[in-house]
Amino acid sequence: MAASLDLLPIFLASFPLIFILISLFHKRNPHGIPWNWPILGMIPTVIANIHRIHDRITEILQVTGCTFHFKGIWFTKTGFLMTVDPANIHHIMSTHFEKYPKGSEFKYIFEVLGDGIFNSDADSWKNQRRVAQSLIVHEKFLKFMAGAAREKVEKGLIPVLEFYCKNGEVVDLKDLFLRLAFDSTCMMVTGFDLNSLCLEFPEIPFSKAMDDVQEVLFLRHLYPKMYWELMKKLDIGEAKRMRKAAETIDHVIANLLAVKTERLNRDREIKEELHDGGADLITWYMINEHDELDINDKFLRDTVLNFMIAGRDAFSVTLSWLFYILSKNPIILAKIRQELNSITIPQQRTFANEELSNLVYLHGAICETLRLHPPIAFEHKSAAEADTLPSGHHVKPHTMILFSLYALGRMRSVWGEDCEEFKPERWITEKGAIKREPSYKFFSFNAGPRTCLGKSVAFSQLKIVSAAIIHNYDIEAVDDDKVVTPAPSVILHMNCGFRVRVCKRWA
């Protein structure tokens, strides 16, 4: 280890030369298989394409038949097997699920998530999933969630949109949706509305800290462990950024849990009311007994953070990309409005979840958004033992396996020659019903035993919000010539804001 650390300054000092070489070789090999450089492996390709890393991965997987061995820095564990072959995904996520846990490497990279459901394996994961599933599918919770989502639209989103309509000002929809998703998810998970969605657009440290965590997590897949540990020890760079973000997250969650505990202890009668009328997830954990779980402060902290990141980002990212796409596809927008007109009258109103459940074209538009712009850009597994994938690739024990969900939606061999086109009709059968695709092909909600528990919740929230905006407002992109691309992150945020003008459709 000491010898390796001695080489680190030399490695860092050589970066200018590396960039010169990268630029020369990148011009000769822009879209083919990356060069496997001495010592550095294929890391220079990442550096050269960091601004478009998701598209570069797509190009590589397209020319390599959906599966590719990425070579990392020599003598480190930064190499991995990347695949978007549906047969491989089905093999790993379903038929041989037990052979492919998240693994210790995943837990090390995502250590900020603690021992929450997304980091756990074996019995810990099974117990957490069993309890979470019993809560999320409960009729009272679903009723609570749908009511909270609609209320946030009526009392949070619409007043802000009305203000921008009246004043003719420009608003950043990316920021707006992030705030809406943050407040809605926080309410669903903790029962508290932190009111980040208001006319003042205040900075919310908790939300900013989660953004920082996601950007650093992307880079942690590329950093050698010794380099990351050195940065932690020196408290510099991305390690310092991660530490500060984690401290903010821990502080906010601790305060929320303290207030929640104090309220429940002060008013015992509230427990009976919550049992009758539904409640947020954390309250359900706190007021019900779960023999298979140790409900302590750390468990609650990890659970809040895991569900907050999953809920907030899936919600906001999907809405942002949906409206960006609709702003460029007026014909598709008109078809959604025609479908909405069949269940309402032409005046401002919001929609109940039950009204939207059978709207096929709206559902197809959301599925297309999730296919082309999946909120979670990567899924990560580790091989517990040697195995051979259906593609013929051999996997050694402890091999890191990455799935690029972004690339999967753009594979011609999976979705056809028109895979780059946005076609809601792709999700509609000849008889006009919603078409279902297997999860190893449409991977946005994971697959197999780890299929997302909140899938139905996510669709309900997305439909409630998108229907209210589409029916009541016209959205016009201001910077129509700006190229909007995915940011280099584990979450598929836009690389910039999405500035629009909002106009009312009804007087």
Give the confidence band of 30 by pLDDT, cuts at 50, 70, 90.
Answer: low
d(CA 478, CA 172) in angstroms, rounded, equals 10
Confidence at residue 429, expressed as pLDDT on a 0 to 100 scale:
95
The mean predicted confidence, pLDDT, of the chain is: 87
Q: What is the average per-residue pLDDT within 195-210?
A: 90
Q: Which fold has domain 34-504?
A: Cytochrome p450 (1.10.630)
Confidence at residue 399, expressed as pLDDT on a 0 to 100 scale:
92
pLDDT of 22 above 80 = no
Q: What is the average per-residue pLDDT within 220-242?
A: 91
Predicted confidence (pLDDT) per residue in 148-161, tens digit: 888 898 899 999 99
Give the confidence band of 390 by pLDDT, cuts at 50, 70, 90.
Answer: very high
Specify the DSSP class assigned to residue 484: P
Confidence at residue 77, expressed as pLDDT on a 0 to 100 scale:
78
Predicted confidence (pLDDT) per residue in 92-151, tens digit: 999 999 999 998 888 899 999 999 998 898 899 999 998 888 888 777 787 888 888 888
Tell whether the torsion through CA atoms of 58, 62, 63 and 67 is positive or negative. positive
Domain spans of the chain?
Answer: 34-504
Q: What is the average per-residue pLDDT within 341-368?
A: 88
Helix (H, G, I), strand (E, B) or coil at 482: coil
pLDDT of 8 above 50 = no
Question: Could you tell me how far CA 303 lies from the centroid of its own chain?
Answer: 16
Confidence at residue 472, expressed as pLDDT on a 0 to 100 scale:
93
186 is in an annotated binding site: no
Which two tokens mark 488?
């280099």
Confidence at residue 457, expressed as pLDDT on a 0 to 100 scale:
85
C-beta of residue 178 within 8 angstroms of C-beta of residue 312:
yes
pLDDT of 382 above 90 = yes
The enclosing H or E element of 140 equals helix 139-152
Which two tokens mark 274?
């919550």
Poorest-confidence range of 5-9, 364-368, 453-457? Answer: 5-9
Helix (H, G, I), strand (E, B) or coil at 496: coil
Predicted confidence (pLDDT) per residue in 465-476, tens digit: 999 999 999 999
d(CA 470, CA 325) in angstroms, rounded, equals 13
Confidence at residue 268, expressed as pLDDT on a 0 to 100 scale:
61
Predicted confidence (pLDDT) per residue in 260-271, tens digit: 888 888 766 555
Question: Could you tell me how far CA 353 lies from the centroid of its own chain?
Answer: 23
* Region of residue 237 (left: phi > 0; alpha: psi -120 to 50; beta: else): left
Confidence at residue 1, expressed as pLDDT on a 0 to 100 scale:
41
C-beta of residue 280 within 8 angstroms of C-beta of residue 188:
yes
pLDDT of 24 above 90 = no
Which of the pair, 85 or 343, is modelled with greater confidence? 85
pLDDT of 312 above 90 = no
Q: Residue 499 to residues 210, 314, 427, 430: CA-CA distances in angstroms? A: 22, 20, 29, 37
pTM of the model as a whole: 0.88
Q: What is the average per-residue pLDDT within 409-422?
A: 97
Q: To which residue do tokens 């006319």 refer?
A: 199
Q: Residue 429 to residues 156, 329, 346: CA-CA distances in angstroms? A: 36, 22, 29
Confidence at residue 273, expressed as pLDDT on a 0 to 100 scale:
53
| % of the chain surpassing 90 pLDDT | 55
Which of the pair, 106 or 439, is modelled with greater confidence? 439
